[in-house]
């Protein structure tokens, strides 16, 4: 087993830094500190917890230039998108600082008792297992509600963003947060199960692949511990006959290329009714061809490298296998010469069931176009997937599209005339193989609490 975690710049293929893996003594010390901190933190009033969250938000903004550069170096995030990510983290901390007490206020219930009510009490240490694609946002969208509710957190981040993981811990420390409120453990994935087994870990939240989620769910279930899983997605965007094509193209390109296509809620499958397919196909392909990719530090590039070479190669293999099964390549679809894990914006059409481009999640800048006979067929295709994270409908008939989004599209987030994105005010999560539980909004802060009945006769 290696004793170090190595960060590789995906734009150059060169090593940035190495980090010593934390040994068992370090892990034990961290767990003991979590228990100690929780006993004090859970007793603080919401007002004092809110001050800590707001101070962390201030520190994030203070250090944003360093944080953004580090994310670009470690996982290739386009520089401007990095600034947006850090700001979203800060605003979410402020949101829960303001709204947390209201979300967790006691709820009076009239019964035969003199008094009866529901109260929401923290449960302890929550283990956060986070991915590399949004190295700050994934952690803070889980941490802000969890910590405001009175819990403490331990972070096991993706190995290729260990620098970002340590930077998060430093930001929280420099903000004056209590020691042990959020601790980073640098560990390989093989040691996660032992952490979940530890009685001092009360619950676990994971954002990652469906395969990783299945393993974490198994370990959490064996220990009868609560888990929230936000997993993969293959979001379908349905372009109906009456869609405004300018709107559809703007949403499709932006939704597909956000974070260089490496987002669980990126637009991935474009299900277009037959009468509009050729027009959408032509205009979408033109825009994808025009999107520039290259050095993520250069603001003109909308697309950086993929986070790792093996992920780029896996995506290319999915594209090639789809073509071998009859898919038509409209642009991209090749591995560029030179260093870096780059992959050009790619469009595939003539997609059928049985192809990787139909059945699997394509985690990169590849858009696939699937023709539907009509609206009913489009809904069938959109729902014909093991995933259920998000989806969109583009139509001028907002009332009709809203009804389809609310009642027919099988996903945790359904957007009309916009691309799917997370919002601190709204619950976020999926169904089917995209996981279970919710983050954000009022539902997110109630995931890791004891929903306790108090009955006074």
Q: Please state, in angstroms and rounded to a whole number, the distance separating the CA atoms of residues 430 and 413.
A: 7
**Three-state secondary structure call for residue 421:** coil
- Separation of alpha carbons 82 and 259, rounded Å: 9
Task: Return left, alpha or beta for 124; rule: phi > 0 is left, psi -120 to 50 is alpha, else beta.
Answer: left
Which of these is catalytic: 94, 230, 375, 439? Answer: 230
204: tokens are: 């676990």
15 included as an active-site residue: no
Q: How far apart are the first and last CA of the chain?
A: 59
Task: Please name the residue that has the structure tokens 């999915």.
Answer: 318
The rounded distance, in Å, linking the Cα atoms of 308 and 316 is 13
Complete DSSP assignment for 320-374: HHHHHTT-EEEE--SPPSSSS-----EEEES--TTSHHHHS---SSEEEEEEESS
Neighbour count for residue 274 (Cβ, 10 Å): 13
Active-site residue, selected from the candidate residues 89, 164, 264, 331? 264
Q: What is the DSSP letter of 439?
A: B
Q: How far apart are CA 83 and CA 77, in angstroms?
A: 10
Q: Confirm whether 164 is a catalytic residue.
A: no
Rounded distance between C-alpha atoms, residue 419 and residue 266, angstroms: 8
Task: State how far Cα 357 lies from the chain centre.
Answer: 21
State how far the Cα of 324 lies from the Cα of 350, in Å rounded to an integer.
12
How many CB atoms lie under 10 A from the CB of residue 317? 11
String of b and e for 402-432 (b: at least 16 CB within 10 Å)?
Answer: eebbeebbbbbbbbbbebbbbebeebbbbeb
Which residue in 346, 408, 416 sits closest to 381, CA to CA? Answer: 408
Residue 74 burial (C-beta neighbours within 10 Å; 0-12, 13-18, 19+) = buried
Catalytically annotated residues: 230, 264
């Amino acid at each position: 087993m290696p004793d170090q975690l190595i960060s590789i710049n995906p734009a150059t293929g060169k090593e940035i830094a190495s980090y010593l893996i934390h040994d068992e003594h370090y892990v034990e010390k961290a767990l003991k500190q979590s228990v100690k901190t929780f006993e004090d933190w859970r007793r603080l009033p919401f007002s004092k917890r809110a001050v800590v969250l707001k101070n962390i938000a201030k520190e994030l903004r203070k250090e944003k230039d360093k944080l953004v550069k580090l994310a670009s170096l470690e996982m290739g995030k386009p520089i401007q998108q990095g600034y947006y990510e850090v700001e979203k983290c800060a605003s979410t901390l402020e949101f829960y600082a303001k709204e947390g007490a209201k979300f967790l206020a006691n709820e009076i219930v009239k019964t035969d008792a003199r008094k009866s009510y529901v109260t929401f009490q923290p449960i302890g240490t929550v283990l956060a297992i986070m991915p590399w694609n949004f190295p700050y946002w994934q952690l803070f969208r889980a941490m802000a509600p969890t910590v405001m509710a009175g819990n403490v957190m331990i972070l096991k981040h993706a190995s290729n963003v260990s620098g970002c993981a340590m930077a998060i811990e430093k930001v929280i420390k420099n903000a004056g947060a209590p020691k042990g409120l959020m601790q980073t453990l640098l560990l390989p994935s093989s040691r996660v199960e032992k952490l979940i087994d530890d009685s001092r870990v009360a619950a676990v939240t994971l954002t990652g692949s469906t395969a990783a989620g299945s393993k974490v769910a198994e370990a959490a279930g064996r220990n009868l511990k609560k888990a929230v899983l936000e997993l993969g997605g293959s979001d379908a965007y349905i372009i109906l006959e009456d869609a405004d094509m300018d709107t559809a193209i703007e949403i499709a390109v932006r939704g597909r290329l956000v974070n260089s296509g490496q987002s669980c809620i990126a637009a991935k499958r474009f299900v277009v009714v037959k009468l509009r397919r050729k027009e959408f196909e032509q205009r979408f392909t033109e825009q994808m061809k025009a999107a520039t990719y290259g050095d993520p530090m250069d603001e003109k590039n909308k697309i950086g490298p993929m986070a790792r070479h093996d992920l780029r190669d896996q995506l290319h293999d999915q594209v090639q296998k789809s073509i071998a099964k009859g898919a038509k390549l409209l642009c991209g679809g090749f591995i560029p010469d030179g260093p870096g894990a780059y992959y050009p914006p790619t469009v595939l059409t003539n997609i059928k069931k049985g192809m990787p481009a139909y059945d699997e999640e394509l985690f990169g800048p590849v858009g696939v176009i699937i023709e539907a006979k009509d609206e009913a067929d489009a809904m069938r295709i959109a729902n014909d997937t093991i995933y259920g994270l998000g989806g969109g409908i583009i139509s001028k008939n907002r009332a009709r599209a809203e009804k389809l989004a609310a009642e027919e599209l099988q996903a945790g987030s359904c957007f009309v005339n916009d691309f799917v994105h997370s919002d601190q005010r709204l619950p976020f999560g999926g169904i089917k193989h995209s996981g279970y539980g919710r983050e954000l909004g009022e539902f997110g802060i109630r995931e890791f609490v004891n929903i306790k009945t108090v009955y006074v006769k």
